[in-house]
Amino acid sequence: MTHIFDPRPCILGEGPLWHPQREQLFWFDIIGQKLLSQHKGEALHWRFPELVSAAAWVTRDVLLIAGERDLFLFDLESEEIETLVDLESTNRQTRSNDGRADPQGGFWIGTMGKKAEPGAGAIYRYHKGELRCLFKPITISNAICFSPDGRTAHFSDTVTGRVMRVALDADGWPKGIPETYLDVSAEGLNPDGGVVDVNGNLWLAQWGAARVAAYSPQGDLLQTVSFDAPHTSCPAFGGPDMTTLFCTTALQGMTPEQLQSYPDAGKVFAAKGIAKGQYEHRVII
């Protein structure tokens, strides 16, 4: 059911994005400071001077990328960079981590300490020129994703073992207090990146568990998809019919024994015909 989509191992693969106009998958190796892609069988990559972790699409050729110190626009063709807004630019302790565009055209991005220092990070939203801090303190920001109707956002602080959800207003800003949607702490699971399909089910990568697990809107476990790498980090739906589940993985944190047992760790995997995903939303600058 699953296969290797891209054989290049990432130290910390993250942030997969299926660009709906280009019909092309992009992803990051955060520690390697790279944006990677594949197009018509050609392996592509772009290296940056600082850590990069997540993206959204603005136009066919321009991505919004979350970097270590800012959100910036990146032209895939010219490779020109334009800073959009600073992101904890004076704090050298932190970096960006998980992020995703919301249905209202905003971009949510989490930060965290480079050594996962407790409470060093936060979750922000950029929308039409404004960057606003939404939730803090956060230790490891993850699982940022949205219901198809745009009324609910999900996010996680991985160390808590919980995925939270919060109601959104018509402009996509949180209203009310976040509540626990999913608690997997008793199972010893670590929620990492997540994405919501067209039916409102959340597909959650679980770091250390070699899988992506699907949960209903009520929090019931529906199914799991296993990958041949222990540190599954973030899923994304894509492909011509949006029914391929991609998943980034990581070498980071693996023991020598694990590295020998999982020779495909760090690569990007794909599983076809899993469920139908939402098209990734365009960020409105």
Q: DSSP alpha helices (H): ranges in the chain?
A: 256-261
Centre a 10 Å sphere on the Cβ of residue 279 and count the other Cβ atoms it contains: 14
Point out the catalytic residue in the list 70, 98, 192, 197: 192
3-class DSSP assignment, residue 243: coil
CATH number, domain containing residue 76: 2.120.10.30
> Checking phi first, is residue 233 left (phi over 0); if not, alpha (psi -120 to 50) or beta?
alpha
Q: What is the rounded average pLDDT of the residues 91-101?
A: 97
Is residue 283 one of the residues assigned to a domain?
A: no
Cα dihedral across residues 108, 134, 96, 48: positive or negative? positive
Give the pLDDT score at 100. 98
pLDDT in tens, 137-181: 999 999 999 999 999 999 999 999 999 999 999 999 999 999 999
Q: What is the rounded average pLDDT of the residues 118-141?
A: 98
52 contacts 46 by C-beta, under 8 angstroms: no
Provide the 8-state DSSP code for 87.
S
- How many independent structural domains does the chain possess? 1
pLDDT in tens, 173-204: 999 999 999 999 999 999 999 999 999 999 99
Is residue 282 one of the residues assigned to a domain?
A: no
| Percent of residues, the chain, with pLDDT higher than 70 | 100
Cα distance between residue 167 and residue 140, in whole Å: 21
Instruction: Fill in the amino acid letter for 161.
Output: G
Q: Measured between alpha carbons, how far apart are the two ends of the chain, in Å?
A: 39
| Percent of residues, the chain, with pLDDT higher than 90 | 99
228 has a pLDDT exceeding 90: yes
Is residue 163 one of the residues assigned to a domain?
A: yes
Cα distance between residue 42 and residue 260, in whole Å: 28
> Which residue range(s) make up the domain with 214?
2-271
86 catalytic residue (yes or no)? no
- CA angle, corner 254, sides to 248 and 259, nearest 5? 90
Report how far apart, in Å, the C-alpha atoms of 22 and of each of 101, 123, 142 are.
17, 28, 26
Give the pLDDT score at 1. 80
- The residue written with tokens 């709906």 in the block is 20
Give the pLDDT score at 78. 98
Cα distance between residue 216 and residue 201, in whole Å: 5
Is residue 277 one of the residues assigned to a domain?
A: no
pLDDT in tens, 26-51: 999 999 999 999 998 899 999 999 99
Is residue 57 one of the residues assigned to a domain?
A: yes
Residue 221: pLDDT band (50, 70, 90) is very high
Cα distance between residue 27 and residue 21, in whole Å: 16
Is residue 245 one of the residues assigned to a domain?
A: yes
- Across the chain, mean pLDDT equals 98
Is residue 33 one of the residues assigned to a domain?
A: yes
251 contacts 232 by C-beta, under 8 angstroms: no
Give the pLDDT score at 164. 98
Is residue 91 one of the residues assigned to a domain?
A: yes
Give the pLDDT score at 272. 97
